[in-house]
Amino acid sequence: MYDAEVREAALAAVRSGQSISAVSRATGISRSAVRSWRDGTHRSRSSECPRCGPDPSSPATATEYAYLLGQYLGDGTLSRGRGNVWSLRIACADAWPGIIAECAAAIRAIRPDNTVSRLRRQGCTSVTARWKHWPCLFPQHGPGMKHTRAIVLEPWQEELVAEHTGEFLRGLFHSDGCRITNWTPRKTAGDTRRYEYPRWLFSNKSTDILGLCSTSLDRLGIAHRFPRPDTISVARREAVATLDRVAGPKH
């Protein structure tokens, strides 16, 4: 990427009548770059953001975005760094290397040119990438913890989540969900057997995020209840089976 000054100097030379080849030779900038600047066909960094500009759209990689939104709402943060560039950080437990890889792949799909790094801390790895426009994609960002402020999806996010509900739930359950196996002794024909039943739990302090999770479960017809105000439980056999297909297994 050339800075604006270099680009302006090259364009001035072209406008003064020099050929593209001559400007390219003199500056070392490729002919195609000079031509795209002259013709206005180059893609500036801000135009790579689907939300900035006159005709905002939702991210083209919708499945990955839905997954990453779930992960962000569960365990993600945005912080502003040098040069007004934001860092997206998704904290992933080291117990699930597959989820760390899936998170990194989702970020890479959305930002193929950015570096995705992994920062290791005790028991957890933060998958991070820097980009000026992360707040455009995650407008739920704000000061303080998520449960201390309203978390409301924008209409374009709601539409995307409605279309990719499974991926959104997958992101939520991969971050703040867990699948556990309970068991009870059961007597059958005089015989006591260990009867196991799996269930999914989703815990979050934000009532709004719990609400988004619950609405999405409803949309896929997955029965659930709130055993505690901060926890959603999916325990019915067919509901667990559906959520297994959608979200799991954690890996």
Positions touching Zn ion (CB under 5 A) are 49, 51-52, 133, 136
Annotate 203-223 with b (16+ C-beta within 10 A) or e (fewer). Answer: ebebebbbebbbebbeeeebb
Of 140, 167, 160, which is closest to residue 151 (Cα–Cα)? 140
**Which lies closer to Zn ion via its Cβ, residue 67 or residue 138?**
138
**Which lies closer to Zn ion via its Cβ, residue 140 or residue 242?**
140
* Total number of residues shown for the chain: 251
Q: How far is the CB of 137 from Zn ion (least distance, A)?
A: 8
How many Cβ atoms sit within 10 Å of the Cβ of residue 76? 25
Q: How far is the CB of 55 from Zn ion (least distance, A)?
A: 13
**Which lies closer to Zn ion via its Cβ, residue 67 or residue 131?**
131
Half-sphere exposure of 123 (CA within 13 A, CB side): 0
Supply the angle between the helices 97-110 and 165-176 in degrees, to the nearest 10: 130
**Which lies closer to Zn ion via its Cβ, residue 35 or residue 132?**
132
Q: How far is the CB of 74 from Zn ion (least distance, A)?
A: 23
Q: How far is the CB of 135 from Zn ion (least distance, A)?
A: 8
